[in-house]
Amino acid sequence: MRQTRMAFDNIERKWYLVDAKDLVLGRMSTEIASILRGKNKASFTPHEDHGDFVIIINSKDVKLTGNKLNDKFYYNHSGYPGGLRKRSAKTMIEKYPNELVYKSIWGMLPHNKLGRKQIKKLFLYADENHKHSAQKPEKLELKIK
C-alpha cells in the first residue's frame, strides 16, 4: 500500500538564532519566513510543516529603509465604533519592536491553519537575552544588509 503522508516523527527540526541588529526588516523577514515554512529543505511540501525554529534577538535594532519610519502606519481595530488604532513605524519600533517584526513575518506566511502552526516556531526578543540556550541554537548569518 502506498503511503500518502509523510510521518511527522522523522522531521529533523533545527533551532536558529538570528541577531536582527542593523538588518533591514523586510529582507530579514523573507528569509525567516522561508525557514519557518521549511523552504530551505529538500523535503519541502507546501501542505506540510517542515520548518525549523527561529529565535530573533535585538528586534529593537532592526532598520527600515527610505522614509518608512514616518510614512508607514500599522492599523488595528477593536471591532467597536471608534476603535481604530493607527501607529507609525517609528512608534512601533520604539515601543513594540517584537510586534513590528512579528507582523512583518506573519504577513509572509500562509494565513490558514498551517501558517498559524508555523508562526508558533518564532520567538522574538527585544534585547540579547533569550531563554532557549538549552536547545543549543545555531547562529544563522543572513546574507543581507
The model's pLDDT over 90-136, given as tens digits with 9 standing for 90+, comes to 999 999 999 999 999 999 999 999 999 999 999 999 999 999 999 99
Give the per-residue pLDDT at 10.
Answer: 82
Nearest-CA neighbor of 74 among 109, 112, 101? 101
Using pLDDT thresholds of 50, 70 and 90, give the confidence band for residue 145: low
Nearest-CA neighbor of 39 among 112, 110, 145? 110
CATH superfamily ID and name for 30-139 = Ribosomal protein L13 (3.90.1180.10)
How far is residue 54's CA from residue 140's CA, in Å, rounded to a whole number? 9
pLDDT in tens, 4-61: 555 556 889 999 999 999 999 999 999 999 999 999 999 999 999 999 999 999 999 9
Residue showing cell 519610519? 69
How far is residue 73's CA from residue 54's CA, in Å, rounded to a whole number? 26
Q: Where are the beta strands (DSSP E) in the chain?
A: 15-19, 53-57, 73-77, 84-88, 122-124, 138-139
CB distance 118 to 37 below 8 Å: yes
Give the per-residue pLDDT at 144.
Answer: 80
Give the per-residue pLDDT at 60.
Answer: 96
Quote the distance between the C-alpha of residue 83 and its chain's center. 27
What backbone phi and psi angles, to 5 degrees, belong to 58?
60, 40
CB distance 40 to 34 below 8 Å: yes
Domain ranges for the chain: 30-139
CB distance 55 to 15 below 8 Å: yes
- The structure's pTM equals 0.90
